[in-house]
Structure 1
């Protein structure tokens, strides 16, 4: 029986065996984790003069093949980055969103150009239709500025500063990897993509809310509180509401004797229910309030956030009140319009994070 000497556990060390495989033309196979650990243990035992070698290590096989490193999306420490999408994908997505918006925009345009309200009649002794005609305390340009331009500006500012605040994101958040879209050899920032999402949802919800309001307006055809003052109705027989014969009659056929009434006013006087101003203001302001609550997370600006939310809600509240005080709508019209706006604001922001 031959005596084993220290350092002669195997005829060859793992490195020598690899060299012998290479010289003989054999292609080494891929190492697994267990084979690499076993080979390292065998090499350590072979070079250690103070330990008795183990005969079971004679059958250790070394498997050498470099592993393939690929991005693993399930690994939180991975730096995997999705492939960039170019102008074709960008314009394709915009076109698809515009098609969806046209589903609500085109019916609204049709109502505005060709819609005819339901021909609702009236009683001559109806005192709710005898209020004076007044100009709106909330002009349309101010309403569009506050409920259209203001939300866009606020969302742009908030998303931009959220992207700059590293405390709101982890080290491997999406904003650090980019948006995945590039245009003119420049990758679009993630905050710009977030603005597109938020503003797009806002516009779509606004279109659905206005379409719902217009459907009700043209289906009901309710007369405005200043109907008598603006129209001065005359019956086909030439009589007016001041004649006793018309005191208790329900009038359906009439013409407006006022000479200064325009075709727009003639159409608009039948669109009292529900209030479009109230629904527009309530939707926009409540959407912005919920947006600030869920996206403006700076601790030092909590008081500022609550102040902004209060001012936004007060603007919607004031707009609704002026529609009654200006005799543009009945109180029930304003209540219904506000309910429509608040409902859609809650629905479209229900999935916002």
Structure 2
């Protein structure tokens, strides 16, 4: 409804739709993300490499848990940070509503399902935004893992864990006559290192940690920008959004500095996460705004607030309309002077 107190609306399909449709889809996404991440259901593509290629000959930085940005910390931040931000924003919106304005605001109705279930607008918005965020988080994981499985791009420390036998592979050592690699190895058994480390070293493009951080930061920054209302300052929301962007950028820098990913892998992860977050915010949750009732689309001008207006001087006539004298001084009762036209 537009303005005023929200009305009650009865719906007997909201609970079955949530249980049998949305929950099932979310479960399928979670299962697919688990299969891509922790099982061998989808084998990683074996990409060849050049002998003595310095691009993949960086030292092994150790397991992921020993990183300065370990996966446990990243998963905790991308889960807790946006959840707390959305929770605080919706609580503030519910207990401190915006003052009424001359522009009608589309408000949601309280849905009553059956005789016992009552879904208030704050609860519906909270479940909707957090549910879409969770769906997008696992979708980002699927996209990143699928890209890694399909491409099989080696990490900068790939040769350190692969430990190929260059003599058996027929790779001559580099010399002044041949300063660069001259033979491309495609043998499936070229690596003599640990199979688990070699398989992990083939999953570099795109960087999954960068994709998750970019998704979480983009979704949260758009929520802060579109939902938060701060009076008297124009720098609070930009400062908060930039503060959210800093950890994601630092994660990408750490991944490159520790020789775990290339810059191209990190940039591809950033683009993947940001694209998924932008799509979900604009096309699924509609910029965190309530949908108009009865299928009516909200005009872009109805959500802009009261904009300053300027009076048109052509619509005003400060001189009262009266009798205008003729050129010879005699009054003419029916003729008025026409406005001058600029040439």
Same-fold status (TM-score > 0.5) = yes
Q: Check if 1:108 corresponds to 2:43.
A: no
Match of 1:228 among 159, 169, 174: 159
Corresponding residue of 1:99:
24
Which structure has the greater CA radius of gyration?
1
How many residues are treated as equivalent by the alignment? Answer: 273
In structure 2, the CA distance between the partners of 1:208 and 1:76, relative to structure 1 (3 Å rule), is closer
Q: Check if 1:292 corresponds to 2:224.
A: yes
Q: Residue 169 of structure 2 contacts residue 190 of structure 2 at CA under 8 Å; is this kept in 1?
A: no
Alignment of 1:67-216 (within 5 A): 80-83=7-10, 89-90=14-15, 92-112=17-37, 113=39, 114-134=41-61, 135-167=66-98, 174=107, 178-181=110-113, 185=116, 187-216=118-147
Give the 3-state SS of the residue equivalent to 1:187 in structure 2. Answer: strand
Report which of the two has the higher share of helix.
1
Structure 2, unpaired ranges of 5+: 290-343
Q: Residue 278 of structure 1 contacts residue 316 of structure 1 at CA under 8 Å; is this kept in 2?
A: yes
Alignment of 1:249-328 (within 5 A): 249-253=183-187, 254-258=189-193, 261=194, 263=196, 265-299=197-231, 303-328=235-260
Distance 1:342 1:212 in 2: 12
Distance 2:262 2:79 in 1: 25
TM-score, length of structure 1 as denominator length: 0.68
Corresponding residue of 2:281:
349
Structure 1, unpaired ranges of 5+: 1-72
Corresponding residue of 2:341:
none
Per-residue CA distance 1:139-182 (angstroms, 9 max, x = gap): 1111011111211111111101101113256899746x634358
Distance 2:25 2:232 in 1: 39
Corresponding residue of 2:339:
none
TM-score, length of structure 2 as denominator length: 0.69
Q: Residue 69 of structure 2 contacts residue 254 of structure 2 at CA under 8 Å; is this kept in 1?
A: yes
Greater relative contact order, per chain length (Cα 8 Å cut-off, separation 6+)? 2
